[in-house]
Amino acid sequence: AQSVSQHNHHVILSEAASLELGCNYSYGGTVNLFWYVQYPGQHLQLLLKYFSGDPLVKGIKGFEAEFIKSKFSFNLRKPSVQWSDTAEYFCAVNPLGSKLSFGAGTTVTVRA
Amino acid sequence: SAVISQKPSRDICQRGTSLTIQCQVDSQVTMMFWYRQQPGQSLTLIATANQGSEATYESGFVIDKFPISRPNLTFSTLTVSNMSPEDSSIYLCSARDGRTQETQYFGPGTRLLVL
């Protein structure tokens, strides 16, 4: 079955540490890729997206993601996290002409 | 980007009753969706709300339990019928305008507790 996999369920790190969250998908063909973030008590917000072009995309709050087509991956990175980055992060994949599918989510806890 | 509002933001309901959730988008969009997010879990698509026709439901969701309306390009409702405690969840409205962009935006959600 086609799916979206996020490798880490819960990540705990200290402020200023680097963050990388893995996301792989199993859809063939052209896809649009997204990372959404859900801060505690808040609603889902778009962090960044990839449709085409440069596979390294930059989003809000210093986040970036790299699309590697050969690996069916779209990993999220941030060089130096802050306490305010504590949130739930969801990878989502939208095969063209189909529906948006979400990964299970990764809870990121940043310790001050 | 589309700004999406939902009403109510939260509710506590008795089992056996029904609740209708409203979703309003600040611009015309081609596609609207309803999702469920159970505590600590990811988002599950309930259905695609089609303007002027019956909604398209995902596996495991049926119209009798989750009737949906979409009278125009900016508004939709989801009803959770004959509720049980298992229906306690966050229900999210989402919208995407396939004519101009493929980004899908989400409303703030309706937090439902069924006693």
pLDDT at residue B100, rounded to an integer: 60
Q: What percent of chain A has pLDDT over 70?
A: 98
CB pairs under 8 A between A and B: 40
pLDDT in tens, A32-81: 999 999 998 888 999 999 999 999 999 999 999 999 999 999 999 999 99
Nearest CB neighbour to B109, from listed A43, A46, A105: A43
Q: What percent of chain B has pLDDT over 70?
A: 97
Evaluate if residue B26 carries a pLDDT over 70.
yes
pLDDT at residue B30, rounded to an integer: 86
Evaluate if residue A27 carries a pLDDT over 90.
no
Contact B107 A43 (CB under 8 A): yes
Q: E-strand spans in chain A?
A: 4-6, 10-14, 19-21, 23-25, 31-38, 45-50, 56-58, 64-68, 73-78, 87-95, 101-102, 106-111
pLDDT classification of B40: cutoffs 50, 70, 90 = confident
- Among residues B92, B69, B78, the alpha carbon closest in space to that of B9 is found at B92
Nearest CB neighbour to B102, from listed A32, A42, A45: A32
Q: Give contacts of A100 with chain B, Cβ < 8 Å.
A: 33, 45, 94, 96, 104
Contact A37, A87 (CB under 8 A): yes
A5 touches chain B (CB under 8 A): no
What residue type is assigned to position A9 of the chain?
H
More confident residue, A106 or B2: A106
Chain B residue set in contact with A, beta carbons under 8 Å: 1, 33, 41-43, 45, 48, 92, 94, 96, 102-109
pLDDT in tens, A82-104: 999 999 999 999 988 788 999 99
Both structure tokens of B70? 């979409």
| CA–CA distance, B25 with B71 (Å, rounded to integer) | 13
Of A77-81, B38-42, B43-47, the poorest mean pLDDT is in B38-42
Burial B82-92 (b: 16+ CB within 10 A, else e): ebeeebbbbbb
Contact A44 B103 (CB under 8 A): no
Contact A51 B102 (CB under 8 A): yes
pLDDT at residue B82, rounded to an integer: 97
| CA–CA distance, A51 with A63 (Å, rounded to integer) | 17
